[in-house]
Structure 1
Amino acid sequence: MAGFNLNNLVQGALGNYSEKTPEELTREYGAYLFNEEKISSGYQMIRDALLFTNIRIIFIDKQGATGKKTSFKSIFLDTIVNVEMETAGTGLDDSEITITFLENAYHKSNNERLKEQKFEFPKKTDIVPLYRTLGNISLANRSRINGQ
């Protein structure tokens, strides 16, 4: 079967994403991007996908037996205020990145609503570049939000 990869299937079944090239992801999901939006990296988990663009993080959830019904959910990069990383250990450990983001659109309100989202990656995935990118985004957002 063309394109079949047992490792990707096993990692997907374990809830992990396997990395795909921006070109592969753009071919499949480019029609859903906003004006001037570009995919910088992305991951596939069996049928679902996780895309990182210059504007947002997109969760793509293909639903049902056929996968024709698809849900697109976004976290905009300008809402990320914290990032944490846990690297894989020995054995079956996975690598994880957890981001904290503002759920409400008004970044300077008196009652911010924070939400967390965790991403799990296979041990072989180098998550340090993604961690650094998200960390730099959160630093810039904190400065902007706090007027520094």
Structure 2
Amino acid sequence: MKNLIKFLILSIITMSCSVSKNTNFNLLFGSGFKNDNVSLEINDTLIVENQIMITDSIIGIVNSNNISYQQGILNVSDKKGNVLKKIPMIIDAKKIKFTIIINKNPYLFYSNLNKGTNMVFNKDKYYYNVYLNQNKKIIKLE
């Protein structure tokens, strides 16, 4: 019985470590943002708070925060790549909860990284629908 308990504890520790090592993703804010006040939570942790976002009409993304998660650390960077915030987190690749609040309206998304690790939040300019698009290929801006 003791050996079974030791095995279960060891299995849980191993599984939690493997989740944090193999779970990497990138997140951008894309098209449709027009002087919108945006906050973002990932797994109920506040990442971005009350930022005014405007989509650049030339490149089609918001030219401000980029969010990346690698090796258990969530990095929030500015447009020059300078890291503004480092937040240690353990994220499960099969279920990531995103809550994006745009102009005081919350939108809830769940993501599975098997669908893609490069993600973009887009907003419809006219109907206020918000979308989370996932890609397996790296998003290139040319």
State the TM bucket, normalised to the shorter chain: under 0.3
Of the two, which has the highest radius of gyration?
A: 2
From the two aligned structures, give the one with the greater strand fraction.
2
Given the two structures, how large is their TM-score scaled by the length of structure 1?
Answer: 0.25
Higher relative contact order (CA 8 A, sep 6+): 2
TM-score of the superposed pair, with normalisation by structure 2: 0.26
